[in-house]
Structure 1
């Protein structure tokens, strides 16, 4: 999408409350909404996380979804969430949040803790593939009454900005994030199509992903979700991801195991949670 087209996008619609911005925007996509359409809500009653988990969305956060109509073969679509995530964290980085990183596969973290999360959902409608990139970012640090054991502390955007930096107005931040997501997707699309039949999902963006990947080259635990509990499956050193987005964990010297984000999660190794 060229800069002129970005300028031509309509304003981001703001809803006082919605069940889920992803669900609402996907319904609009099926009704013909265009690439780049976006909406945000002041609060969500049924915010969505990975594996159908509910996402707490009290008033005061930025809860937003951007519609993407990908122009790549279906086999490359697993790279779309990474392209969208890079658009979000790079925007935050350029705003001054220099510690913004992507915790594999979909959390936005900073040195102080968890800043937000990203959920990309893909569907087919009227013969076209459509996707919504939804993200929730703590504009200011919320109060968490019952934190989950082992979870990172929840922080707001101001906590990760340099001293004296001005927090952008939430409407301005939303526009910057939409632009960041769309430009990142465009860059990924161009590089993947240029590679032709040799392209894999992360073609052209894997190096950038590694620059913004949290815990790379650090000890981690790999968890297998079972109900509401998490059991450690393996421990090792995170060596990055492969071209399909699978986590590469060195579980023994010279032994790399590959993990799919649909089956596991990763945290810093026990004893390092405060980092």
Structure 2
């Protein structure tokens, strides 16, 4: 693990209200904020998810963004969101959560539904790559009417705890997530460094990711937003470049890019 993982970080800054913690931290990153800087908002008015989806951010949830400056080659940066997601899972398991899985590419789910989502935004400035890694996490389930019957219902961290309640204050949970995420990213960067020219984006983390992968060895539907792809198959796993491997009806295994398709369980 890199020496940077031994750094002790200060408190996570808390804002009463902000449009988006990712947007705010991105502005600070471009102005020179350091690796490990983190913002939490009590309320977000313009929270965002993947593919420009809005993320409801009422008071009581964890809305957190962390600035990460990974010391890895650009070609492996697609692995950063997975390393970050693994860190989030480590933090949740650390407070006693059970049954946590990652829905490809990096939604946080449990047996009762979706707990949260991750949005990682990469930039280059002054020749240096950095990422703002955002997490929106429900502490209590937020009811909503899904537009698609295969969509997961909302769930909360409380649903994953034996006692049914979160003992940690949001400030403590935010710090635990921040620390676990930075540690996971540092461990990933160390594995990348050790692999040298043979490193691929998920080097060092592929086994754990596949172990946590939701719907692995189950029937899933692969689809695009415009409907140009809609087919069923069995999710075999994820490869070292982060592509979902789906076994189709003819036995062929096809790789799919998360930027292009969604995968949901067949209901």
Q: Please indicate the TM-score interval, normalised by the length of the shorter structure.
A: over 0.9
**For residue 209 of structure 1, what is the aligned residue in structure 2?**
209
C-alpha contact 2:44 2:63 (8 A) present in aligned 1: yes
**For residue 17 of structure 2, what is the aligned residue in structure 1?**
17
**For residue 76 of structure 1, what is the aligned residue in structure 2?**
76
Alignment RMSD: 1.6
Deviation at 1:127, TM superposition (A): 2.2
Deviation at 1:221, TM superposition (A): 0.5
**For residue 243 of structure 1, what is the aligned residue in structure 2?**
240
Q: Does 1:149 align with 2:148?
A: yes
Q: Does 1:192 align with 2:189?
A: no
**For residue 31 of structure 2, what is the aligned residue in structure 1?**
31
C-alpha contact 1:65 1:134 (8 A) present in aligned 2: yes
Deviation at 1:142, TM superposition (A): 2.1
**Cα distance in structure 2, aligned partners of 1:211 and 1:11:** 32
**Cα distance in structure 2, aligned partners of 1:166 and 1:63:** 16
| Uncovered stretches (5+) of structure 2, i.e. residues with no partner | none
**Cα distance in structure 1, aligned partners of 2:7 and 2:65:** 16
C-alpha contact 2:106 2:118 (8 A) present in aligned 1: yes
Deviation at 1:231, TM superposition (A): 6.9
**For residue 266 of structure 1, what is the aligned residue in structure 2?**
263
Q: Does 1:131 align with 2:117?
A: no
With 97-106 and 109-118 compared, the bigger mean Cα shift is at: 97-106
Higher strand share: 1
**For residue 41 of structure 2, what is the aligned residue in structure 1?**
41
Cα deviation code 1:131-180 (max 9, x no counterpart)? 01100000112243x43322211011111111366532111110100011
**Cα distance in structure 2, aligned partners of 1:155 and 1:18:** 24
Number of aligned residues: 265
TM-score (norm 2): 0.94
C-alpha contact 1:41 1:64 (8 A) present in aligned 2: yes
